[in-house]
Amino acid sequence: MATTSFDKCFVVTDQESIERIYYDLAHPRLIKVAKCDYKAESAKGLKLLKQRLSKSETFWVSSSTRNKRR
């Protein structure tokens, strides 16, 4: 279930839990995300795609040529 569709009301009565919630809201966790070089990734992806397409093109050309010889 997606968290955005979560629509349930609840009541927290435990004082310790309330304090934890307030503390967590006041001190959010920082998450570090590794930086990505999108240009390099894109170039790598295009290179791999060209390799795959060139192999499949070679396969189709060679198989159609093979069928004509028979």
Residue with tokens 């609840």: 10
Residue with tokens 């795959």: 52
In the prediction, which pLDDT does 44 show?
94
In the prediction, which pLDDT does 9 show?
84
Residue 54: pLDDT band (50, 70, 90) is confident
Whether 18 and 12 have beta carbons less than 8 Å apart is answered as: yes
Residue with tokens 């570090």: 32
pLDDT for 2-52, tens place per residue? 566 667 888 999 999 999 999 999 999 999 988 989 999 999 999 999 988
Q: Which of 35, 34, 32, 36 is nearest to 45 (CA)?
A: 36
Task: Tell me phi and psi for residue 39, to 5 degrees.
Answer: -65, -45
